[in-house]
Amino acid sequence: MCGIIGVAGADDATSAVLLEGLSNLEYRGYDSAGIAVGGDEVEVEKKEGELSALKRALAGRTLDGAVGIGHTRWSTHGPPSDENAHPHTDESGRVAVVHNGIIENYRALRDELEAKGVSFSSETDTEVVPHLIAEALDAGADPESAFRRAVERLEGSYALAAVVAGTDAIFAARHDSPLVLGIGDGAHYLASDIPAFLERTRDVVYLDEGEFAVLTPGDWRVEDELGEPVEKEVETVEWTAEQTGKSGYDHFMLKEIHEQPKALRQCLRGRVDELEGRITVEELDGLDAPEEVHFLACGTSYHAARYGALLLQEAGVHATAFLSSEYATSLPPIARDTLVVGITQSGETADTLSALRKARGRGVETVALTNVVGSTVARECDHVMYIRAGPEIGVAATKTFSSQLVGLNLFVEQLLADEPRNRDVRELVSALRDLPGQVQEVLDESRADEVVEEFMGAKSFFFIGRGVHYPVALEGALKFKEITYEHAEGFAAGELKHGPLALVTEETPVFALVTGDGENARKTIGNVKEVEARGAPVVVVTDGESDAERYADSVLEIPATHERTVPILANVQLQLVAYYMARRLGRAIDKPRNLAKSVTVE
Ligand code: M6R
């Protein structure tokens, strides 16, 4: 996601310290960057694209001042552009603000400010903040109170930092988005992540929820929501530079697996109303339930597409998941009232773009379900829904897959919201609310590393599941082969006896997904017995609702939940299985051989 750096009282030129901090944050992924340097006046430079574009825009100039803030943006509201890049300013240019997170009530605030004659220069949610600060300054508030007043109006998540002309201070606040202070000798720093300032100081102060901070060259203080001083502990970090890019994890893949609770919360934010038991995806407002849905996707996204098709079929809508490359090769009949949905985390996969273009050529409406704002798929489709997983750097898709599955639940309910099918989504809403915490539980308690130790040297690995677990079995096998380079296949559990069973021996561990205690579980247990009888070691991923454990050599447990969210939990165990096996084999986990993160050729 986005990155923040701030400095008060830099020993070098302020702009140089900010650029250094932004460069340390590049690993997070971004699509634009900018800085603001404050003192008597506020100077801003910002640019779409890489940091090199911002440096070119500065054309060798250094901006110096008592304080400065910088930002790398990963778009959520409005595509990447110079205007949408942070910092954002008020109309007079007295106030500059950088922000991580999502301001949920920005639309209402923007309408209110526009009605008062304020003109906006970006499409972002963030821009309301400098205008609110300016409004409070005009009403006579001092800069610190003006900042507080603005923050009081905000709903959503934010890590915010602001500078105001004529004030040698940075004002900062955090709510649901991290901020950390760096305490140097005569200079003080602020960042979304420690690596931003690690070369300059290792002494840090973590801001807690709802806290405010004020940094000046000679001082720093933290206050609570009521303005009462908070005594904070200064801690010293002992990390190496290599570790910090991955926040202490050995690989980006592991970091991204662990980011899933946060990614899912981001995906759900503002879309799920627990009190009303309602799901709304604002950006798809007005999209009616079609007669038929075609999902187009590749790789992991195709597995998400299969899951999405199952959800719609269950609701009585004709839905099919197609591999984009096959769809583009032999276009199937497309009825007039078909909605074509491209699922692609990167938004740049050539096969999916080509298939979508062919469908558009038939005059049907298209939707993009993607992670990357402003990507080609987002620009070319009629409607876009973002999964908001944050940048994914490891080639293996992990948090984006989980976010796609959650996003598909929201997509389906939005599509069917006006249908007279009397859908009760209360149970789903409550399961979605609990999901991030349950994913955390799986991450904290998984025994995947121990389990895979038993299977070093095995010949092939099979993954089996039924219904909503079938796409997860396919995904488990894809992840496994992609990063371990070992042979793995995913099968519909019921298909084993129609051929693949011939491959099953003592040397082929089978991972079986068995949840609930209904017909699917009973039948899958039957399939588990079939492979067990051929001597295959069996690992069951289960919520303990059936007696599947009795037939297993090892068990990977997941919490019981709604049948639509349970595959997401099961998949987290399989991500860890793949990761730990690849680690034991010493593979290039983040950049597996022959593969690329974004596949831009057909
Ligand atoms: O960006 P996309 O979602 O369109 O990418 C599609 C596939 O290339 C991708 O999911 C690939 O299968 C993953 N690297 C698997 O982990």
Q: Which domains does the chain have, with CATH numbers?
A: 3-242 (3.60.20.10), 245-440 (3.40.50.10490), 446-589 (3.40.50.10490)
- pLDDT at position 418: 77
- pLDDT at position 359: 97
Confidence band of 38 (pLDDT split at 50, 70, 90)? very high
Query: What residues have CB less than 8 Å from 587, skipping those under 6 apart?
Result: 483, 484, 485
- pLDDT at position 246: 82
By alpha-carbon position, which residue is closest to atom 1 of ligand 1?
346
- What is the pLDDT averaged over residues 388-397? 91
Closest residue by Cα to residue 37 from 164, 144, 192: 164
Cα(296)–Cα(375) distance, integer angstroms: 16
- pLDDT at position 343: 98
The CA 299 to ligand 1 mean position distance, Å, reads: 5
Query: What residues have CB less than 8 Å from 597, skipping those under 6 apart?
Result: 346, 392, 393, 395
- pLDDT at position 462: 98
Q: Dihedral of CA 399/401/402/407: which sign?
A: positive
Cα(25)–Cα(19) distance, integer angstroms: 10
Does the pLDDT of residue 119 top 80, yes or no?
Answer: yes
- 3-class SS of residue 429: helix
- 3-class SS of residue 457: coil
- pLDDT at position 250: 93
- pLDDT at position 601: 75
Query: What residues have CB less than 8 Å from 194, skipping those under 6 apart?
Result: 180, 182, 204, 237, 239, 244
Does the pLDDT of residue 244 top 80, yes or no?
Answer: no
- pLDDT at position 245: 72
pTM for the model: 0.80
Strand duo 365-370 + 383-386: pairing: parallel
Does the pLDDT of residue 241 top 70, yes or no?
Answer: no
Closest residue by Cα to residue 545 from 575, 574, 528, 520: 520
Does the pLDDT of residue 431 top 90, yes or no?
Answer: yes
By alpha-carbon position, which residue is closest to atom 16 of ligand 1?
396
H or E segment and range at residue 451: helix 448-453
Give me 28's structure tokens. 């997070």
497 counts as catalytic? no
Does the pLDDT of residue 588 top 60, yes or no?
Answer: yes
- pLDDT at position 379: 85
Give me 556's structure tokens. 């990977």
Confidence band of 27 (pLDDT split at 50, 70, 90)? confident
Cα(237)–Cα(200) distance, integer angstroms: 12
- pLDDT at position 486: 98
Does the pLDDT of residue 34 top 80, yes or no?
Answer: yes
State how far the alpha carbon of 15 is from the alpha carbons of 275, 461, 469, in Å. 47, 53, 52
Cα(116)–Cα(58) distance, integer angstroms: 34
**Ligand 1 site residues, Cβ closer than 6 angstroms:** 298-301, 344-346, 349, 352, 395-397, 478, 482, 598-599
The CA 18 to ligand 1 mean position distance, Å, reads: 34
- pLDDT at position 421: 57
- pLDDT at position 242: 55
DSSP per residue over 502-557, as a string? GG-STT--EEEEE-SSSHHHHHHHHHHHHHHHTT--EEEEE-SSSSGGGG-SEEEE
The CA 587 to ligand 1 mean position distance, Å, reads: 19
Give me 525's structure tokens. 């247990």
Position in ligand 1 atom list of the atom nearest CA 345: 3
Q: Which of 2, 267, 298, 381 is catalytic?
A: 2
Name the residue of 296, 344, 352, 600 to mutate for ligand 1: max ligand atoms within 8 A of Cβ. Answer: 344
Closest residue by Cα to residue 272 from 109, 427, 440: 427
Query: What residues have CB less than 8 Å from 285, skipping those under 6 apart?
Result: 414
Cα(314)–Cα(497) distance, integer angstroms: 26
Q: What's the residue count for the chain?
A: 602
Strand duo 158-164 + 170-175: pairing: antiparallel
**What pLDDT digit, counting tens, does each position of 309-353 carry?**
999 999 999 999 999 999 999 999 999 999 999 999 999 899 999
597 counts as catalytic? yes
Give me 504's structure tokens. 């099953």
Higher pLDDT, 75 or 244: 75
Question: What is the identity of the amino acid at 145?
Answer: S
**What pLDDT digit, counting tens, does each position of 147-196 carry?**
999 999 999 989 999 999 999 999 999 998 889 999 998 899 999 988 89
Position in ligand 1 atom list of the atom nearest CA 352: 4
- What is the pLDDT averaged over residues 101-110? 94
- pLDDT at position 417: 86
By alpha-carbon position, which residue is closest to atom 8 of ligand 1?
299
**What pLDDT digit, counting tens, does each position of 49-82 carry?**
999 999 999 998 999 999 999 999 988 778 899 9
Does the pLDDT of residue 420 top 70, yes or no?
Answer: no
Does the pLDDT of residue 419 top 90, yes or no?
Answer: no
State percent of the chain over pLDDT 90: 83
By alpha-carbon position, which residue is closest to atom 10 of ligand 1?
300
The CA 319 to ligand 1 mean position distance, Å, reads: 21
- pLDDT at position 30: 85
Does the pLDDT of residue 518 top 60, yes or no?
Answer: yes
Q: How many other C-beta atoms are found inside a 10 Å radius of the C-beta of residue 462?
A: 26
Cα(495)–Cα(88) distance, integer angstroms: 57
- pLDDT at position 2: 83
- pLDDT at position 406: 98
Cα(15)–Cα(185) distance, integer angstroms: 19
